[in-house]
Chains A and B, each alone.
Chain A
């Protein structure tokens, strides 16, 4: 059974940093691209970032480019999102999502499994 469990969310002040983690199990993690998608409370979905299976291809939404860094540790079956210079606009549930394509390079990717999310609240 595929499981994606996010952690690391919480309350953080504007301008500070936070690191999210996603622990994956139930599939061959290093074969698949992975993504972060966020959802502000009561709002729609926003793709944040994606990373290919070997970290060779990475993409970011314009809203987070230069502030967020996605990474993965295939030995630990883990995905990360380092977030810095946080603003109130970054307040959201952050979902970890598995790409359906093995050895995909992000383009044409889509998500077959999602975690339940971790809430990041940016507030003073």
Chain B
């Protein structure tokens, strides 16, 4: 199984300041077809998760452009350029290069 490791597990950010979450996979997520199967989700309190980013760096429909994703192979990062109050929640990375999909442990973002 591919293990997904996120850091930090929690962060507290002042509104308007940037935030960064790292996700490392135990195996490369780059497929032979050139696609990298790394995704980011946000779970707001009391809500189901929602898709933020797909294939590392593509914002899903309706996701603000303050969110960006980067990385390759086994190391990935989700960046928020200017945190807003609505960004509070738990962020998860996920891989699907293997049929047994796996998530990171989650990173809880709080507002200072």
A contact set with B: CB distance below 8 Å: 35, 37, 44-47, 50, 59, 61-62, 95, 100, 106-112, 114-117
Given contacts A37-B49, A108-B96, A114-B49, 18 further A-B contacts (CB under 8 A): A44-B92, A44-B103, A44-B104, A45-B103, A47-B94, A50-B99, A59-B100, A95-B49, A100-B51, A100-B54, A106-B96, A107-B96, A107-B98, A108-B31, A110-B51, A110-B54, A112-B60, A116-B47
Q: How far is the CA of A89 from the CA of B69 in the complex (A)?
A: 33
What are the residues of chain A within 8 A of B99 when measuring CB–CB? 50, 59, 106-107
What are the residues of chain A within 8 A of B64 when measuring CB–CB? none
Given the known inter-chain contacts A44-B106, A114-B49, please indicate yes or no for A62 contacting B31, CB distance below 8 A.
Answer: no
Q: How far is the CA of A52 from the CA of B25 in the complex (A)?
A: 25
Contact A109–B96 (Cβ < 8 Å) = yes
Q: Is B37 an interface residue (CB 8 A)?
A: yes
Q: How many A-B residue pairs have CB under 8 A?
A: 64
Q: How far is the CA of A106 from the CA of B101 in the complex (A)?
A: 9
List which B32-56 residues lie within 8 A (CB) of chain A.
Answer: 35, 37, 39, 41, 43, 47-51, 54
A90 smallest CB distance to B (angstroms): 17
Q: Is B102 an interface residue (CB 8 A)?
A: yes
B contact set with A: CB distance below 8 Å: 1, 31, 35, 37, 39, 41, 43, 47-51, 54, 60, 90, 92, 94, 96-106
What are the residues of chain B within 8 A of A47 when measuring CB–CB? 94, 100-103
From B60, B99, B103, residue with most partner A Cβ within 10 Å: B99
Q: How far is the CA of A117 from the CA of B47 in the complex (A)?
A: 9
B53 smallest CB distance to A (angstroms): 10
From B1, B47, B48, B100, residue with most partner A Cβ within 10 Å: B48
Q: How far is the CA of A70 from the CA of B38 in the complex (A)?
A: 24
